[in-house]
Structure 1
Amino acid sequence: MDLQRLLAWTEPLFGTITDVLPIIAILIGFQVMVLRRPIPNLGRVVLGLVLVVVGLACFIQGLQSALFPLGKLMAAQLTDPAFLGNTGDQEHTTAHWLDYHWVYLFAFAIGFATTIAEPSLIAVAIKAQQVSAGTIAAGGLRLAVAVGVAIGLTIGVFRIVTGTPLHYYIIAGYCVVLLQTAFAPRSIVALAYDSGGVTTSTVTVPLVAALGIGLSSNIPGRDPLLDGFGLIAFASLFPIMSVLGYAQIGAEITRLRARARTKRRQES
């Protein structure tokens, strides 16, 4: 038993080392062969690389031991016919899409919570606030992205429940994004597009992937390969829409306030 546990930990460790080695080789190669300069603070760099490898290995093992099984378990429990209130032969019971309201609520909540806790989003939001000299609030940006992910996952779960084609939603969504881009403030467009990428990182992706596969495995008539994937696409698309909308609403509020101040000056 102890040997099995040891092997379970060594496998992600060696896998992480294999994945990280090319990155280390490129960085060291450019530093030594292209820039022709010694690596500064070599001891600290080596220690940092060791921590990165060990941390990633622990993270991967944690995903396999906790997050993936937990996501599948929640999906199975939320789609259980007994939980949905259906009776009779559970194997052939088909629930109405409205019966999955707890699944939609769970998708919204988990999308919001994981995005708020996403380290990459926190880093981008802080940088955006610094570069914009405070005109873009880090908290507001994180909230806008989290709401976008939550809405996207809810719609993505609805797609899995109903079995409708993925490309309908994606094409329609990007049409909305293109329309928003034409009217949104130019200063926010690039940041909005980047916001769709930072959400698909270490915290969000494992739970979202497990949720999608778990739902498609337990909902009658759904195929994990055809229907289980695609939630991450929703989690990337809808934050772009929400951040652009957040900027457009902010710009409109600023314009209305400026108009109100001008009107008060004229009246006085």
Structure 2
Amino acid sequence: MKKLFKEKMKESIASVLPITLIVLLLSVTLVPLETGVMVLFLFGAVLLIMGMCFFTLGVDMSMTPMGEGIGIQMSKAKHMIGPVVICFILGVIITLAEPDLQVLANQIPSVPNLVLIIAVSIGVGVFLVVALLRILFKIRLSVLLVVFYAIALVVSMFAPQDFVPAAFDSGGVTTGPITVPFIMAFGIGLATLRSDKDSGDDSFGLIALCSIGPILAVLLLGIFYNPEPAAQETSIVSVATTMEAMHAFRSETPHYLKEISLALLPIAVIFALFQMIYRRFHKAKLLKVVIGYLFTYVGLVIFLTGVNVGFMPTGQLIGERLAGGGFKYLLIPIGMIVGYFIVAAEPAVHVLKAQVEEISNGLISQSAIQYSLSIGVAFSVGLSMVRILFDLPLFLFLLPGYLIALTLSFFVPPIYTGVAFDSGGVASGPMTATFLLPLAMGACQAVGGNIMTNAFGIVAMVAMTPLITIQVLGFRAELKRKAVRRKLRRRLEAMEDTMVYYDDTNNEVNE
């Protein structure tokens, strides 16, 4: 345990340190920040490191075995009705537990919060059932993705255009730090008992499909309620001393203690019922799961407190002052640098990397996934800054992006498609919502743009570009594999040409 804790701490420091250094460098060069804001940011960075450490450790000990255990048990069911009902209920309950869903609900005031939350939760539940049926009937993921994204694009034509970016953002927002680890492990469990060669490939893709449900749900609500654009209010915490900074964090902590308690409680209840019925975990393993669950809770509280109190005002001020000063075009390269490093601080990214490397037996390394995600997010943030500066529509980027991603899905190994589309939801987590979105909002306000159409959409962009970069990684790997096979074939043919054959009397013959 001690050794594992040290590894997680090193991993957390390596993830958070680059973005911290970038902000410090900007604060002493292009964007001078008030001392109070920097104190909040640095306190927040420390909390991020601690929170990520506890969270990733807790996920390994609890959420992963819980999800896999439930998935394995469901795959043994003799009738389909039970697994389908359980999948739907799991999807709804886990989404209701996602803290980021509350943030989304508050951003769309014309739709009642409860209506929006229930609609999105039902959307995730329905698509978790679709993901289950895909695994059972061995339907290719790329086919379903083409069909459902085409439906989403058609529906978006009838929704209020000011509302569409927030709807596409919802696909990334609702697959957050609670949903992702559980659903990914659940998918691995569902596919574990299949002995065919495609079972590993089908372990991925659940997050990809579950990300479509919220998009369709929010678009349909937009058509039904015809909401007005949300008026965005900026709230920058002002502190003058380190004691005031501590008070700001301390005053917000009870809120996140309650929020994460309510978020994790449904999963705990589901697991308790599962354990009572199936007795899957023995006493020692069960104790480890409980301890891991507590680590997950503590880690999420610390992480979300740090990122919301410390990082959100810093991101907004950097965007506002870069765009409002004489450096607005520097938003593009600076945004790309921030995007490249900030994705490493997403807690669920570490879960994705570890599970991909494990399921692929090392074929897809954690470093390859990290580089692909970082490159993808760097391009997405850069393009988002271009959208803000030149007032360009979101679909100008989303349509060709998804067209490229969906086309690639037919030319790469299925495991890369599943990983790529899962990574879109994973990359657009709390760091995107609390640093990159405020960065975009601050820049948008400074240039006088429409926040709903220009600032919103950055989450959708962050969720889209990794679909391309990871599949390009898969396409490259497939080309290399084919090149190796051709090389081996040529060698075998050359060996056959030089071989000498003899008959039974040891005389040379030609064949």
Residue from 5, 18, 23 that aligns with 1:9: 5
| Residue 102 (structure 1) aligned to one of 82, 93, 115 | 82
Q: Shift of the alpha carbon at 1:154?
A: 0.8
Question: Does the C-alpha gap of structure 1 residues 44 and 35 become closer, same or farther in structure 2, counting only changes over 3 Å?
Answer: closer
CA distance in 2, matches of 1:232, 1:159: 13
The number of aligned residues is 227
* Residues 1:115 and 2:95 aligned together: yes
The answer on 1:78 being equivalent to 2:74 is yes
Residue identity in the other structure for 1:183: F
CA distance in 2, matches of 1:146, 1:56: 26
Check 1:220–1:162 CA distance in 2 against 1; reply closer, same or farther (3 A cut): farther
Q: Please, which of 212, 227, 233 is the counterpart of residue 237 of structure 1?
A: 212
Quick check: 1:196–1:237 contact (8 Å CA) kept in 2?
Answer: yes
Deviation at 1:42, TM superposition (A): 4.7
Q: 1:149 aligns with which of 124, 136, 154?
A: 124
Q: Which amino acid aligns with 1:232?
A: I
Q: Does 1:159 align with 2:159?
A: no
The Cα of 1:44 is off from its aligned counterpart by 4.2
Cα 1:183–1:71 change in 2 (3 A) is same
1:212 aligned onto 2:187: yes
Q: How far apart are the structure 2 equivalents of 1:51 and 1:195?
A: 26
2:222 & 2:33 partners in 1: Cα distance? 44
Say whether the 8 Å CA contact 1:32–1:38 is kept in structure 2: no
> Superposition pairs for residues 1-268 of structure 1, below 5 Å?
5-37=1-33, 39-40=35-36, 42-80=38-76, 84-85=77-78, 99-129=79-109, 135-221=110-196, 223-251=198-226
Unmatched runs of 5 consecutive residues or more in structure 2: 227-511
Q: Which SS does the other structure have where 1:183 is aligned?
A: coil
The higher radius of gyration belongs to 2
Q: Deviations over 1:181-226 (max 9, x none)?
A: 1112223212111111102210111111111111111134363431
Residues 111 and 225 in structure 2, CA contact (< 8 A), matched pair in contact too: no
Q: Distance in 1 between matches of 2:99 and 2:80?
A: 31
Provide the rounded CA distance (Å) in 2 between the counterparts of 1:185 and 1:41. Answer: 37
2:61, 2:185 → 1: CA distance? 12
Residue type of the partner of 1:77? Q
* 8 A contact 1:68–1:206 mirrored in 2: yes
Equivalent residue of 2:36, what SS? coil
Summarize the Cα distance change of 1:41–1:180 in structure 2 as closer, same or farther, 3 Å threshold. closer
Question: What is the distance in 2 between the residues matched to 1:26 and 1:224?
Answer: 42
State the identity as a percent. 30
> Alpha-carbon deviation of 1:249?
2.9
Structure 2 vs 1, CA of residues 160 and 222 (structure 1 numbering), >3 Å: closer, same or farther?
farther
Task: Report the RMSD for the aligned CA atoms in angstroms.
Answer: 2.0
Cα drift, residue 176 of structure 1? 0.9
155 and 128 in structure 1: CA distance in 2 versus 1, 3 angstrom threshold: same
| Cα-to-partner distance string for 1:237-262 (whole Å, 9 max, x where unaligned) | 121111112222334xxxxxxxxxxx
Q: Secondary structure at the match of 2:108?
A: helix
Aligned to 2:399: none
Counterpart of 1:255?
Answer: none
Inter-partner Cα distance in structure 2 for 1:245 and 1:45:
38
What residue number does 2:372 align with?
Answer: none
Q: Which amino acid aligns with 2:94?
A: T
Residue 172 of structure 1, CA deviation: 0.7
Quote the offset at 1:8 in angstroms: 1.8
Tell me the TM-score normalized by structure 1. Answer: 0.78
- Say if 1:153 and 1:231, in contact at 8 Å, map to a contact too: yes
Q: What letter is aligned with 1:212?
A: G
